[in-house]
Homo-oligomer: A and B are copies of this chain.
Amino acid sequence: MRYLQVEDMRDLAYGAAILGTGGGGDPYIGMLLAEQVIREYGPVKLVGLDEIDDDAFSASVAYVGAPVVMIEKLMGFADMVKAFQSLERYMGRKFTAVISAEIGGANSIVPVSVAAALNLPLIDADGMGRAYPEIPLVTWTLHGISATPMAMADEKGNSLILETIDNHWTERFSRSIATDMGAEASAALYPASGSELKRSSVPNSVTRVIEIGKAISDARDAHHNVIETVLKATDGIHLFTGKIVDVLRRIEGGYSRGECTIEGLGDYRGQKMVLHFQNENLIAFVDDDPVAVVPDLITLLDSDTGDAVTTEHLRYGYRVDAIGIPCDPQWRTPEGLALGGPAHFGYEVEYVPIEQRA
């Protein structure tokens, strides 16, 4: 057990950007929000899975929709609290903790704000160990835990409660609703007990992102190479260095989808990387060979600063290093690959763990 302080928020944001694998929204905005909320309400208690009771009762809070919009439409914190509380009212039971559904991107920081504002502990775990673009894509689904009842709310004052037969229907409805709500909506979902979470979550992931972020901050202060530091802190593998020469991006069914083409520089001169994304980076090809495949994480780093580059910030001329990070072991089981592997996103590419490819 420890407390998350204002000064942890920057590390959390840096680390979450790395594990955000290009998606999950810009954590910088989430960081500003969390800093402000902790200043106002005080530090947040971070509790390990082994420290919570079996009958603890938690829910996740997350922004659902296309993260590109988040830049223009500042995330509505009040709506997130409203969604969380309307789920409590619907279920007739108070939540005793908050947990992150994903540990990459803004959705890993927003739960800190809700925990602070409601004086609830945050569980040091999540349902992905990365960011993923669809609601069912959590380890919780592999254990039969339902995303519903789920509450959604927007900044206009609209809200709703979903009850579905499976997490794929939840995804379908919530995408349409998020689109109607202005491409992005606040959601409270995956209500679950302590015993359910213990057997199904990715453990210690909040601590992990803060450590990654701290390593980056320290490297920067000491003028060390940030990219090497990220590789070391994440057990990552260097994939490519180059310059972005083309970005195709479209909003489709409530997702930001697209491809980014990177022309090799230095050791990679003469080679070409094509990176496919759906909110998050999904698969990276070098000269048509897959070099990293979902569920492994693919992150682009700004070659100058080492900052993670989210898919909505991709633009012509950006010099980037692409890195790959091994995913949580749950995603490498046959069930995990069926749920969140390349075939789910329409790629006929065999999944080989990134350490084996390298």
Contacts and interface: CB of A to CB of B under 8 A. Distances in A.
Interface size classification for chain A? 10 to 19
B157 A165 contact: yes
Interface in A142-183: 156-165, 169, 172-173, 176-177, 179-180
Contact of A156 (B156, B157, B169, B180): B169
Contacts of A165: 156-158
Contact of A163 (B158, B163, B180): B158
A161 B89 CA distance: 13
Contacts of A162: 158, 160
A158 B180 contact: no
Contacts of A86: 163
A90 interface: yes
B158 A173 contact: yes
Contact of A159 (B163, B177, B179, B180): B163
B169 A173 contact: no
Question: How many copies of this protein are present in the complex?
Answer: 2
A163 B86 CA distance: 11
Nearest to A175: B180
Contacts of A176: 176-177, 179-180
A187 to B, nearest CB: 13
A160 B159 contact: no
Nearest to A165: B157
Nearest to A176: B176
Contacts of A158: 162-165, 169, 173
Contacts of A163: 86, 158-160
A165 B153 CA distance: 11
A172 B181 CA distance: 9
Contacts of A177: 173, 176-177
Interface centre among A157, A160, A177 (most CB of B within 10 A): A160
Interface in A45-93: 86, 90
Interface string A198-222: 0000000000000000000000000
Contacts of A160: 160-163, 173
A158 B150 CA distance: 12
A208 to B, nearest CB: 35
Contacts of A173: 158, 160, 177, 180
Contacts of A172: 180
6 contacts: A158-B163, A158-B164, A160-B161, A160-B162, A160-B173, A173-B180
Given A157-B165, A158-B165, A176-B179, 10 more contacts: A86-B163, A158-B163, A158-B164, A159-B163, A160-B160, A160-B161, A161-B161, A173-B177, A176-B177, A176-B180
A-B residue pairs, 10 tightest by C-beta: A176-B176, A157-B165, A161-B161, A158-B164, A160-B162, A159-B163, A172-B180, A158-B169, A176-B180, A173-B180
